[in-house]
Chain A
C-alpha cells in the first residue's frame, strides 16, 4: 500500500484554485481526496466541484417525531385521563392542531440543528489541518495523495499561483 501524505496550498483567488483542482484531477487525485477551506462560502459551481446532494431526511424524521409528540400530548393525554363532558367532543381536532403544529415545527428545527452538528462532526476538539489565513481572504486547497506524487502536486499548485505550498500539521483549533 503506497504511503499517503497531505499538502496544503494557499491561493488568493477562486479561479487559480479551480484550475489547480483541475490540474490535480489530471494527476489522478480523487475528488474525495481534495478539499477547499475558505473564510467565505464558495459554491461548488464556482470551484468546478461536484455538489453534495442529500435529502434532509433527519429533518423530516425530526418533524415526524415532533408530530407524534404533538399527537401524544393532545389526544394521548385525553385518553390517559378521560373527562367526558356532554355536548363537547372528547378529542377536539381544531384545538389540537395548534399543539401538533408547534411540536412538528420544534421537531423540525431541533433535528435540523442536530443533523448539521452530526454531519459536520461537531463539536470537534481533535487537532485538525487548518490555516487561520483563510480568514484573511486566502483559499486553502487540501490534498491527500500518494506520496510518490509529491513533486508533481507541488508543481501543479505552484504553477497555478499558490502563494505557499506546505505540509500542514494537525493542530488544535
Chain B
C-alpha cells in the first residue's frame, strides 16, 4: 500500500510524452519534407561564401603552403628529432582516424541494432567519416617528408625486385586505411542514391545534369529498393569489423614497438574506444552547427542530441576504464622508465596537457551528461563535445611525442617542441575538413529523407490501458 511508505516519498503523476517532440511521430507531407531538406542546399548566403573563402585561404596557406615549404626546406624545420621521431603530424593523423569512427559507429552499428533515432543523423555522420579519412590520409605523405617516396609502400615490381614488407604495421595501416576509405565512401554513397534522385527531379539546368549523373538512373522500383537494402545490410555488417580493425591497426603502429608506454596489449581496444568517444562527440558538434546554420530543426531534434549525449557519457566511462587500466598496469609494474614516463605526465612539461585531458575527457562529461537538461542544451552540449575533442587530441599528443621523450636509454632522452609548420598543418587540416563539409552541404542532402519517411511509416501510437504509447512496426 502506498500509505505504508515512509513520508519522505513524494507521489507524482507520470509525465505524458508529447509525440510531436519526436521526429518519427511528427510526419509532414513528403513534398514538404523534401522542400525542407533542399531549401538550404539551394540557398547560399554571403556569410556562407565568406566562410568558404576564409577556409579555402587557410587550407591554401596553412596546409598546402606550409607543406610545400617543408618539402622545399626539408623536415628539419619540423620539431621532430631524436628521440621524438613522431610528432604532431602523427598525433593529428591518429586524431582524424579517430573522428572517422563517427559515421561508421552512428550509422552502421545503430543500423544493425535497428536503433530508430539514427535515421536523420546517419548521412551527416557518414560524411564526417569520409572527410576525416581524407584529412588523415594526407599525414603519412606529409610525415614522409619526401612524399613521392610513398611508392615504396605500393606493391609493384620494381628495379630492385623488392616488395613491400607486408609484415610491417605501417604496411597494414596503409591497406587498412585504403579499405576503410573506399568502404566508407561507398557506404555513404549507397543510401544517398534515392535522395540524389529526389534532388534530380527538383533541379533544372546544370544542377540537374550533375544529379542525373550521380543518381545513376534510380527510379524507386521494387527491385532497386530490394537490392539497395541488401547492399546496405552487407555494408553495415562488414564495415563494423573494418572500423574496429582500422583503429586497432593504428594502435599497433605504436604497440608493436618496444617503446615504454606503447608496448601494451590493451592499446587496440583503448584506441578504438577513444576513437568512438571523439567521433560521436564530433558528430554532436557538427550536427549542432548544421542544425543552426541550415535550419534543419525539423529533422535534428533534442531527442537525437539527448541520445547521442548518452552514448558520449557511456564512452567517456569506457575510455576512463581503459585509461585507468593502462595507467595502473604501468604504475604497478614498477619499471623505472615507466615511472619516469608517469612522472613526466604528472609533474613534467606534459603535465598541463595531461590534466587538461583528464578534465575534458572524464570530469566534464561524467559530471554533466547524466543531467537531461545538459543533454538537451545545445550550447552546453557544443562546449562539452568540443572540449572532449580537445581532450582526445591532447591524449594522442601525450601518447605520441609525449611518451617518446622517455626511453630505456636515459642519455637519449629529449624534449619535443612543435614548430610553426606542424601547428599550421594541423590547423590547415581542420580547415580542410570544415571546407569539405561546407561544400558538401550544398551538394549532398545531409538528411536521408527516405530513411526518415520509412521510419515515420513504421511508427504509430497505440493505447494500452490509460495511456497511449509509441509502437514500432517491423516493415521488412
Whether B163 and A80, one on each chain, are in contact in the complex, defined by CB atoms closer than 8 angstroms, is yes
| Contact across chains for A35 and B457 when beta carbons are under 8 A apart | no
Asked if A112 and B235 make an inter-chain contact with CB atoms under 8 angstroms apart, the answer reads yes
The answer on a CB contact under 8 Å between B225 and A136 is no
> Which residues in B have their C-beta under 8 angstroms from that of A128?
217, 219
Q: A99-B171, A116-B228, A173-B212 are in contact. Are A106 and B178 (CB under 8 A)?
A: yes
Interface string of B25-52 (1 = CB under 8 A from A): 0000111001000000000000000000
Contact with B along A61-94 (1 / 0, CB 8 A): 0000000000001100110110000000000100
Given A113-B231, A128-B219: A39 and B30 interface contact (C-beta under 8 Å): yes
Does residue A46 face the partner (Cβ distance < 8 Å to B)? yes
Contact with B along A21-58 (1 / 0, CB 8 A): 00000000000000111111111111101011010100
A135 at the interface (CB under 8 A from B): yes
A47 to B223 Cα, complex, angstroms: 13
In the bound complex, residues from chain A placing their C-beta under 8 Å from that of B155 are: 73, 77
Main secondary structure of the interface of B (DSSP, over half): helix
Q: Does A143 make an interface contact (CB < 8 A)?
A: no
Indicate if B242 sits at the interface (CB-CB under 8 A). Answer: yes
Would you give the shortest CB distance from A139 to chain B, in whole angstroms? 9
The answer to whether B234 touches A56 (Cβ under 8 A) is yes
Which residues from A are CB-within-8-Å of B18?
none
Query: B163, B194, B476: which contacts A39 (Cβ < 8 A)?
Result: B194
Residue-wise interface mask of B (59-81) relative to A, using a CB-CB cutoff of 8 A (1 in contact, 0 not): 00000000000000000000000
Q: Closest B-chain residue to A40, C-beta based?
A: B453
Decide yes or no whether B190 CB sits under 8 A from chain A: yes
Place the interface of chain B in its size category: 35 or more
A51 to B155, CA, bound (A): 44
Q: Which residue of A lies closest to B30 (CB)?
A: A137
Q: Which listed residue (A54, A99, A108, A132) contacts B172, Cβ 8 A?
A: A99
Q: Are B220 and A134 in contact (CB under 8 A)?
A: yes
Q: Which of A87-145 contact B (CB under 8 A)?
A: 92, 95-96, 98-99, 101-103, 105-106, 108-110, 112-113, 115-117, 119-126, 128-130, 132, 134-137
**In the complex, B54 has a CB within 8 A of chain A:** no
As a 0/1 sequence over residues 250 to 278 of chain B, the CB contacts with chain A under 8 angstroms (1 = contact) are: 00000000000000000000000000000
* Selected interface stretch from B179-187, B385-393, B407-415, B425-433: B179-187
Contact B231 A46 (CB under 8 A): no
The smallest beta-carbon distance between B159 and chain A, in angstroms, is 12
Binding site for A on B (CB under 8 A): 29-31, 34, 155, 161-164, 166-167, 171-172, 175-176, 178-179, 182-183, 186-187, 190, 194, 197-198, 200-202, 212-213, 215-231, 234-235, 238-239, 241-242, 245, 249, 450, 453-454, 457, 475-476
10 contacts between A and B (CB under 8 A): A44-B222, A45-B475, A92-B167, A103-B179, A110-B186, A113-B186, A134-B219, A135-B34, A135-B202, A136-B30
* Residues of chain A having any CB pair with chain B under 8 Å: 35-47, 49, 51-52, 54, 56, 59, 73-74, 77-78, 80-81, 92, 95-96, 98-99, 101-103, 105-106, 108-110, 112-113, 115-117, 119-126, 128-130, 132, 134-137, 173
